[in-house]
Structure 1
């Protein structure tokens, strides 16, 4: 029996009742459609993410000759490495981040969020309603990642399209058209980033690419790291903002509570990540025979954690199906655990908090103008359109 069909529209609209049923039945389930078992309890997912017998073992997209750029980006990503190679690359990237980029960018991010929220308010005033995704949620994170890397125009304007195309490959059945688009986007990204890195090698700046060059990353590792920052930093944050604003506007008491109390912003960010997880599935591969919650996982076998299922596990979260912007503690796994914990988590938190603060300033009377349009994807859970208006 298949636990769920990741292509089913009803499931994609609200996967959480299915996750609750699966958690009640067992902590790990075989999933023939995904081709791997899936962990659904918080404890099982934590075990997968922390377990040293479970790593990120990259397998090239096939046929490999058709995905040269896509495979290059992932083969050289710290997310897809283990052991000394991962430690060396992670240390270099962490060192670059620790040079104060998040603190440096925080005021700029706040000003950008305020400007975009102002554009959203103006569009609502002019047209009666406007799409929060295209005006605020999508532009904000990609602009932040581009600023972090130091990437100028016209490359900056193309980054969102590259990211959207590449991450489509993470879905269970992307189809040939999306697979081809992902490789084209990856190839363009590699070409542009290599050219920019060559320029920065001669003309260093106050940006992450300059810092990574000084850390002696080779050219492939540099573009792989930049791609990871773009895809992880951009896609997840877009979806946190979109999913989060939708959740707040459909739980009006929590929206009003947040609009009235800026001190709740930090806790609200964590709750929005937990309540409707922007990344639903994350894979690991057994590097040795092991088991997860009693489920055998032989060496070489992939296993996935369902982060949305873990986030609503009543064993660790009180009233898990309720949105509570003041929730504390909040043991969500949205940024991962262990050696692959997200290095960009502090910056992502700054971005989401800035978006909430900007909406409080510009649009405290925001409300839905139409039913949201969801993206037809499971792994990267988000909205295509969120049309809003004023009360």
Structure 2
């Protein structure tokens, strides 16, 4: 057969996975390895999308300019007004020129020193949260890392960044948790309804916060987003501003809580690496990257073709979707030496955890600061930490994380 013709033939899936299977959710990486061995791109019947499983193919999906983030409203439209509003106006769900304008405005507001302003505050917050965790372990023999450190840390950081009053901050995490469930496949109707309720409440809350900051600006990102203008004098609309704030919370919270949870779970399962980090905190920068790579908090990211595209021999027609399977790309042996080995000194480490191309995560520097602060505090304050019990894993596939991670620190 002519090799040029073979490029347009679909990949044949010999091995696949059931994204609802608890055994797969517990450890998807053997299934990913089997897929990579059969080819770089496969059609997944259960999800109705092609998945790129090699690092090269996943990178191509994320970078190709004819594969975009093309938003399709959740239906029926009359039941998902707030959820759709948030995504229609999000820079994550738009392509140029809308994406270019939104990202430039948001980056300009971010560029006013907010991340560096928060760095010492984040370090202090992580120390206080780990102090509370250590006290609970002393009192009760064990305590949950997720509830006491991993979950509250990113919510507090994003709330501080946005200028959300302290009394309102407990509202944010439940809203985020409910909304992101909509990114899973075959979601139950009650959870879809819960996502819309959370979006409606969040939109109403943020409209009030925006109105407050218009009248009385502060030293926070919402105030700067209200004030920022593009070179032609254009500003963010209120819907775009609200959508940006929600994106920052959902992306910032869900990614960071699960990097910390999944990562510390991995560290506790590899005690030699944990002791290595305790002995040498200079490993923290590379350790953060390895935590992101080894058990990716975001397993899959979709793109839609705007014209015919061929990725690793798989042809995607206009309107069809293809997904970068980030968890599979992160274990590609053609890119990562001993990819199933957890190595805190791994360098280079070209994981795709923050994406690639024009949609590369704007909050990546902030996420790295948060994860490093949490690890540093744990190393210094709980060097003898161990798992007190096996954690309960969340049932979702796309957003990969834990419900809890009980830790103990036996007295030696």
Scaled to the shorter chain, the TM-score interval is over 0.9
1:292 paired to 2:305: no
Q: C-alpha separation between the residues in 2 aligned to 1:361 and 1:197? A: 39
Q: CA deviation at 1:372?
A: 1.1
2:164 counterpart residue number = 151
1:88 paired to 2:107: no
Q: C-alpha separation between the residues in 2 aligned to 1:275 and 1:49? A: 19
2:75 counterpart residue number = 62
Contact 1:155–1:192 (8 Å) recurs in 2:
no
1:219 paired to 2:238: yes
1:141 to 154, 159, 163: 154
Deviates more, 1:37-46 or 1:154-163: 154-163
Q: C-alpha separation between the residues in 2 aligned to 1:100 and 1:174? A: 39
Instruction: Spell out the pairing of 1:10-159 with structure 2 (5 A cutoff).
Output: 10-159=23-172
Q: C-alpha separation between the residues in 2 aligned to 1:347 and 1:195? A: 26
The CA deviation string for residues 98-125 of structure 1, in whole angstroms up to 9 with x for no partner, is 1111100000000000000011001111
Q: CA deviation at 1:211?
A: 0.8
Contact 1:149–1:226 (8 Å) recurs in 2:
yes
Q: Secondary structure at the match of 1:83?
A: coil
Q: Secondary structure at the match of 1:303?
A: strand
2:328 counterpart residue number = 309
1:5 counterpart residue number = 18
1:389 paired to 2:412: no
Q: CA deviation at 1:262?
A: 1.6
1:258 paired to 2:258: no
Consecutive unaligned residues of structure 1, counting only runs of 5 or more, are none
Contact 1:141–1:351 (8 Å) recurs in 2:
yes
Deviates more, 1:205-214 or 1:338-347: 205-214
Q: CA deviation at 1:263?
A: 1.2
Q: CA deviation at 1:156?
A: 1.4
Structure number with bigger Rg:
2
The CA deviation string for residues 237-284 of structure 1, in whole angstroms up to 9 with x for no partner, is 000000000000110111011111121111100000000000001000
Q: Secondary structure at the match of 1:193?
A: helix
Structure 1 length normalisation: TM-score?
0.99
Q: CA deviation at 1:361?
A: 1.6
Contact 1:259–1:360 (8 Å) recurs in 2:
yes
1:328 paired to 2:315: no
Q: C-alpha separation between the residues in 2 aligned to 1:241 and 1:336? A: 18
Q: C-alpha separation between the residues in 2 aligned to 1:123 and 1:338? A: 43
Q: Secondary structure at the match of 1:29?
A: strand
2:258 counterpart residue number = 239
Q: CA deviation at 1:154?
A: 3.2
User: Aligned residue pairs: how many?
Assistant: 391
Q: C-alpha separation between the residues in 1 aligned to 2:168 and 2:207? A: 12
Q: CA deviation at 1:155?
A: 2.5
The CA deviation string for residues 131-174 of structure 1, in whole angstroms up to 9 with x for no partner, is 11101110000100101111113331100000000000111122
1:189 counterpart residue number = 202
Q: C-alpha separation between the residues in 1 aligned to 2:29 and 2:80? A: 34
Q: C-alpha separation between the residues in 2 aligned to 1:268 and 1:373? A: 24
RMSD: 0.8
Q: CA deviation at 1:200?
A: 0.2
Q: CA deviation at 1:32?
A: 1.1
The CA deviation string for residues 213-246 of structure 1, in whole angstroms up to 9 with x for no partner, is 1122110000110111011000010000000000
1:353 paired to 2:366: no
2:174 counterpart residue number = 161
Q: Secondary structure at the match of 1:277?
A: coil
2:189 counterpart residue number = 176
Q: CA deviation at 1:341?
A: 0.2
Consecutive unaligned residues of structure 2, counting only runs of 5 or more, are 1-12, 229-234
Q: C-alpha separation between the residues in 2 aligned to 1:371 and 1:262? A: 26
